[in-house]
Amino acid sequence: MMMLKVDNLVVRYGGITAVDGVSLELEEHETVALIGANGAGKTTTLHTISGLLKAAGGKIFFQDEEITKVPAENLVARGVVQVPEGRQVFAKLTVEENLRLGAYLQKNKQVIRANHEKVMTLFPILQERRRQAAGTLSGGEQQMLAIGRALMSNPKLLLLDEPSMGLSPLMTQQVFDVLLELKKQGMTILLVEQNAYEALTISDRAYIMETGNITLEGRSSELIHDPRVKDAYLGGDL
């Protein structure tokens, strides 16, 4: 099943065109990376898919239904869930309270319980820290909490915005290990990431974005060896 289809998306800020005719697709159970430098339009694309920004042109389809003008809160109810850049956890609430907030639209207690167990299995550190205020966690632990909070809503499509930003190499690896596990479990993931090597390592396919346009796309296993990608994003030495 086609989970997500973005067709000729245009997004503008005032008189500036931030995204100019972007098209991309995700099949169910696929992990797709959107890679590019700062200011390429990756986060803008993600925010428009999740309903946080309005499209100036083009169309967005989720499970074959057009969602271009659907408000963000309605998209969450449908299963489109974003993990924002910068974590944005509720600092004064406990880890447990943050997780429970992620399930606020979920009415089935059995589903909530199952998702909670899944999160605690994926992130054992959250089990240890469950009574701590989220603001006292390290950056990496807060990123795990942000992902865990998103999983509590039982997403069909998980949108991740720069999950490795500001993290140590060790914590970055732990976060990507979790994403790889989610992929193995069949989660459909659209990953926006500046860490091109890690993103290409765990994804099935990838799109390269530059100044509001998709300039390259293909299987991640091929793009990681493409000279253009290596020179621009991988230091040219892999």
Q: Who wins on pLDDT, 235 or 193? A: 193
Q: How are beta strands 157-161 and 188-193 bridged, if at all?
A: parallel
pLDDT at 53: 95
pLDDT category, 34, cuts 50, 70, 90? very high
Strand blocks (E) in 74-139 = 80-83
- Whether 171 contacts 165, CB under 8 Å: no
Q: In this structure, which topology does domain 1-79+158-238 adopt according to CATH?
A: Rossmann fold (3.40.50)
pLDDT at 104: 85
DSSP 104: T
pLDDT category, 237, cuts 50, 70, 90? very low
- Rg of the Cα trace of the chain? 17
Q: Which sequence spans correspond to the domains of the chain?
A: 1-79+158-238, 87-155
pLDDT for residue 90 is more than 80: yes
Q: Exposed, middle or buried, 204 (CB in 10 Å: 0-12/13-18/19+)?
A: middle
pLDDT at 236: 54
pTM: 0.92
The whole-number average pLDDT for the span 155-183 is 92
- Residues 30 and 26: their CA atoms lie apart, in Å, by 6
Per the document, the length of the chain is 238
Taking only the tens place, the pLDDT of each residue in 159-170 is: 999 998 888 898
Q: Is the dihedral of CA 137, 139, 140, 145 positive or negative?
A: positive
Nearest to 160 by CA among 50, 36, 12: 50
pLDDT category, 130, cuts 50, 70, 90? very high
DSSP 135: G
- Residues 238 and 236: their CA atoms lie apart, in Å, by 6
